[in-house]
Structure 1
Amino acid sequence: MRVLPSERLISGNSEGVPLPESRSELPPVIRRTEFVAFALAGLLLIAVVAVLYVAKAFFLPVVMAIVAGTMLSPAATFLEKRGVPRAVGAVLIVIAVTALVAFVFALIAAPVMEWSSRLPELGAQLKEKMHVFDRPLALWQELQTMVGGSDGLPSVQLPKIEWVQPTLEFLSPTFAEFLLFFATLILFIASWRDLRRALIMTFGERDARLRTLRILNEIEVHLGNYLLTVTIINVGVGVAAGLVCAVTGMPNPAGLGALAATLNFIPIIGPVAMFVVLVVVGLVAFPTIGGGLMAALAFGGITFLEGHFVTPTIIGRKLALNALAVFIALAFWTWLWGPLGAFLSSPLLIVGLILKEHLLPENWPQLPQE
């Protein structure tokens, strides 16, 4: 019996499904339902980002409190095992952390207040020091004129200081945001054990409960280790920066060291901002440019060693963070929530990686070996 082409069967298919004769009969690579699902997921993501951006005054203190509370929960558990009630331990931990943060900011605020009162004088000194670049700029202007370029570079002027007040307003949260943050932080630490149990018991199946328990345990352990490790590293960077400032003769080395330790909590942006601060302070405090750049160059060497050797060696063993992922997360959360978003970028990235590891199925399609 002759088999017509239209009746050919797919090899290995026992159900007898006809093989399509032309490429036009092949199923599409992306089905309509899949396209609709992707579109809905994209719209949901855009809506979530828009809500987080518009309702920043609510979500930022709450997320900040939850992340900080998860980092500090092991300390509350430690106190609870030694007979301290968890609610009392939560209050004591928040008071201790607040006092430490207030002490650091007091070290930073003293020189900032002193220098802010002398801004016109310091600006005139810095402008006078910048006259050393007049000759290179004049040579560059002559070179552009010889090659038929523009009329030359405009004169270099120092930026005005009108940005100081808007920047302080942007960095300073309102009293309501402070109150929301502290209330959420204390209540979260005090009730974290009950919240864990409620989240685990939300699921009916045993496997889902075990998966939720493993996720919560890993998030708590990794965030706690991240906070402890990064704090120790940044304190070391601050001490080293303070010693460098003291050796090189910079004014107020303790305040500059505290500022270096604080800014180093913000990846990439913090060390760069501290380098600029040291350059400006050095140019104003020293009579020569070479002397003013010594502390900044030494700090650059310290942060290079810390960023390329110390931090990857310590943190990389516990939870590998891709440099590109860290940079994109930093850019996104800084754009969304400002400096506090920059501080939250790495902890939120760690939480996302933990969720990815546990929620993706084990039989997820793998690429073939090269």
Structure 2
Amino acid sequence: MEPLEGSFVGTTSSEEDDPFPSVKERRIPICIFFRNARLILKFDELGREIAQIALPAALALTADPIASLVDTAFIGRIGPVELAAVGVSIALFNQVSRIAIFPLVSVTTSFVAEEDTIRSVSSEAQESECLEACSIENAENKELIPQNESSDHLSESIQISSFKVSKFDQMPRRRHIPSASSALVIGSVLGLLQAIFLISAAKPLLNFMGVGSDSPMLTPAQQYLTLRSLGAPAVLLSLAMQGVFRGFKDTTTPLIATVAGDVTNIILDPLFIFVFHLGVSGAAIAHVISQYVISLILLWKLMQQIDLLPPSFKHLQFGRFLKNGFLLLMRVVAATFCVTLAASMAARLGPTSMAAFQVCLQVWLATSLLADGLAVAGQAILASAFAKKDYNKARETASRVLQVPDFF
């Protein structure tokens, strides 16, 4: 009797390493949703790996919308006009940012996971060769040394070999990941371009969003958008670094940095808005400072793990990023266009309607990004599995991350 499709019972190593899906899965792709469905919530090795990546990633993704929700609460105390103005500015800022952010972060995560896995496999092979060479050297020394002197010399030889191995282990562990350096350069350049674009075209863009020249929302919206745009380089750079950490399957460090930045924002908001009486400008300044705090923390941690400067310009992978990020760019534009269009329509209805839309949007964002943590986990694990040619793990990971949201 043949085992059930997708079951581990009775499978051989050749079946597990088969790079191609079964005939049934090729003909009916929806079958992947039911592959090993009984293992959805099993806390096995794969389940633990997914949870260790997905939970911190989900918390980090929801931290910023929650902080924006707190911003909304503080700004709402100033008045509905200011709240509506900030809502239009945030919608416009997010539309421009996400066009660059999501393709950059997604591509960076995959590339870094692939390169880090290949580097780890190569490093393990080199260490194994070193240990083997030391063993051969010890054997040769034992044969050449006379019997009465062999014990002393052999002990000395073993100590020397042990020193070589320990020296190998103590070599600098900073990794050379070309895609990480490329992501940081691209993120910095895109951030600067975004800041210049939004600051120079703030008024026309707000007019296009439905905030006319005679609207009471125009002045506070322009103030908020101009000041918040100064933080665009930090936003894109920090998100590029988050993509690097996700590629390392480390989502805890971005979580800590994001929480630190958001706490800074929440503390500075009432200080700038109500104590210094800066209004919406104070809220924008607090947000910009929090973004630079996040970037500095991530940069400090990243410098301890990788060489940020590539050996030469040719090692940067701009072409690879542009090629793979273009299709993601089209998807992001399509996905975010609806929200931006809705904000534009709400702004045309007046400050009250726009203020209500801003509150509802922030509440929705704070709860809708939870599932993205699974996407981060799946992306990192899949890239690593394909780099190792572990196609069975890739299939199981794809099934698991697709099945968990459906279960809940």
- State the TM-score bracket (shorter-chain normalisation): under 0.3
Question: Which of the two has higher C-alpha Rg?
Answer: 1
Higher RCO (CA < 8 A, seq sep 6+):
2
